[in-house]
Amino acid sequence: MKIACMQIAPASSGVAHGLEQLDGYAAQAKAAGCDLLVTPEMYLSGYNIGAARVLELAQPADGPNAAQVADIARRHGLAILYGYPQTDPQGGAPFNAVQLVDAAGARIAHYRKTHLYGDVDRAQFQAGHARAPVVSWNGWRIALAICYDIEFPELTRAYALDGAELVLTPTANMIPYDSVATRLVPARAEENGLFMVYANYCGSEGDFDYCGLSCVCAPDGRDIARAGRGPGLILADLDRAEIAQARASVRYLHDRRPEIYAETGTTRDDI
């Protein structure tokens, strides 16, 4: 499978501009032979835009914006994972969500961010309450995460135990937190023997300066593709055979002993 990650500045001109950019990048990705295009976090609206604007732009998973993304996927014949603000059917704060549509425009996976980061996230969103189901697509077992989620090793480990081979992670990571992209994302890949995709913004939005460094990491933790600070499209070929090779070499999943750390937060009395 071949994957493309968009690394761009937030779509400050609005949703229509974001959809137009998505159409252009989808054309580029398809021309490069890609099967899947991944956008940054909250791509359709921008991330650091304030609670009132997030609420204004929020839509259901099957809303008009979703229909336009599905149309882009169909016209270009590739799957798209995109970030957007999702309305709460119960009338609460929106969710920070991502949705995966296939090359026919069908919705095949959806996820709401479960770990909210800092004042901006907490002011704009409510947290999701469950990890994404692992879905089968194009012969791959795929899970979804968003930005801060991936900084918690428990989530990626849970996905690996659920059978995931690939974790797709739209993000809005800012300077000075380069180490997430350069250290933690490769570690998540290596410690679980799976592929990690991390699609970030670049440029500025409000008082945030995004750090770029979007990447695709192999199951042994090495970079397959890595962006710098500026905008562009990174491309990566993924080979499922590398998963078995990595897990045979580094046996973390096999050698783990959950019986000694299943219960946490207890105090030892034998020291």
| Catalytic residue from among 5, 30, 34, 113 | 113
Measure Cα distances from 224 to 1, 19, 162, 195, 247 in Å.
13, 28, 24, 10, 18
Tell me how crowded residue 121 is: count the other CB atoms within 10 A of its CB.
20
Does the annotation mark 2 as catalytic? no
Cis ω before 176 (30° cut-off from 0): yes
Does the annotation mark 113 as catalytic? yes
Transcribe 82-135 into DSSP letters: EEEEEPPTTSSPPEEEEEEE-TTS-EEEEEE--S--HHHHHHH-B---SPPPPE
Instruction: Give residues with Cβ within 8 angstroms of 69, minimum separation 6.
Output: 19, 22, 44, 80, 82, 99, 101
| Catalytic residue from among 5, 147, 202, 217 | 147
| Catalytic residue from among 34, 41, 165, 211 | 41
Does the annotation mark 41 as catalytic? yes
* Helices and strands per DSSP (H, E), number in the chain: 9, 14
15 φ, ψ to 5°?
-65, -40
User: Among all residues, which ones are annotated catalytic?
Assistant: 41, 113, 147
